[in-house]
Amino acid sequence: MKLNLIAAAILVTLMSQVSFGTTTDGGMCLPAGRNQIQGHETWPWGMEAPFPWRGIQGIWMANVNGCSTYFTFKNLKNSDNEKILQIHEIDPTTCTSISKGAGYEEARVVTAVMIGKDGTYNMKVHSFRESDVIEANNKEYSSSASNKVVTVMTVNPVKVPTPVGTYQLYKVSADPDDVCKH
């Protein structure tokens, strides 16, 4: 029991070192809402779908501790013509940048290092077929779910190798420059 309390204290300390999901000035956050798929506690890690480069560009929202956080994703290519995902985390109440970074794809997962004024964290973006997510959660399968894609991000402080947070992403707009118009 004492070991679990120590582990919980360490996790809280680590999470406090990663700044996302709140306003940068300590103000109120934009409450999460929208049409979201809820109740997925298990993700089928290792069964990622091919990364959706054509559909990833735009504005995405995550519910982090009851608050909305926006991420803009832009597709770029480096000098070797390799795909790069430029990511900006935006505070939706002030429209200010919280962190930014760039990621590359490896084994169907995009990995990015995000840098902000409050610290640095790793972010991974995964995509799964909804049917695989439903199966992993032992829920009743619906054939209409088979072609839909669920996008998830994991985050962790740079010096911690395992994710300390997993959040489902929801697309808000296909235009990444439209972030403060919502």
pLDDT digits (tens, 9 = 90+) for 80-96: 999 999 999 998 888 89
- pLDDT-based confidence at 53, cuts 50/70/90? very high
In the prediction, which pLDDT does 15 show? 38
* Closest among 90, 31, 25 to 66, alpha carbons compared: 31
Residue 115: CB atoms within 10 Å? 14
Q: How many domains does the chain have?
A: 1
Q: In Å, how far are 57, 113, 158, 177 from 73, measured between CA atoms?
A: 5, 14, 21, 10
pLDDT digits (tens, 9 = 90+) for 164-180: 889 999 999 999 888 87
CB atoms within 10 A of CB 159: 10
Is residue 149 a part of any domain in this protein? no
Query: Are residues 182 and 168 in contact, defined by beta-carbon separation less than 8 angstroms?
Result: no
3-state helix, strand, coil in the chain (%, to 5): 20, 40, 40
- How far apart are alpha carbons 76 and 102 in whole angstroms? 9
Cα–Cα distance for residue pair 6/180, rounded to 1 Å: 40
Q: Which residue segment(s) compose the domain that 15 sits in?
A: 2-21+30-35+52-125+155-181
User: Does 57 map to a domain?
Assistant: yes
164 domain-assigned: yes
If you compute the radius of gyration of the chain from its CA atoms, what whole number of angstroms results? 17
Q: Is the whole-model pTM more than 0.85?
A: no
pLDDT at 10 over 70: no
Q: Is residue 146 part of a domain?
A: no
Give mean pLDDT, residues 6-25. 39
Res 19 pLDDT > 50: no
In-domain check, residue 47: no
Evaluate whether residue 160 is within a structural domain.
Answer: yes
| Contact between residue 64 and residue 44 where contact means Cβ atoms under 8 Å apart | no
102-139 tens-digit pLDDT: 999 999 999 999 999 888 999 999 999 988 888 877 76
According to DSSP, the β-strands at 119-129 and 67-77 are unpaired
If phi > 0 it is left, if psi is from -120 to 50 it is alpha, else beta; for residue 119 that is: left
In a domain, 130, yes or no: no
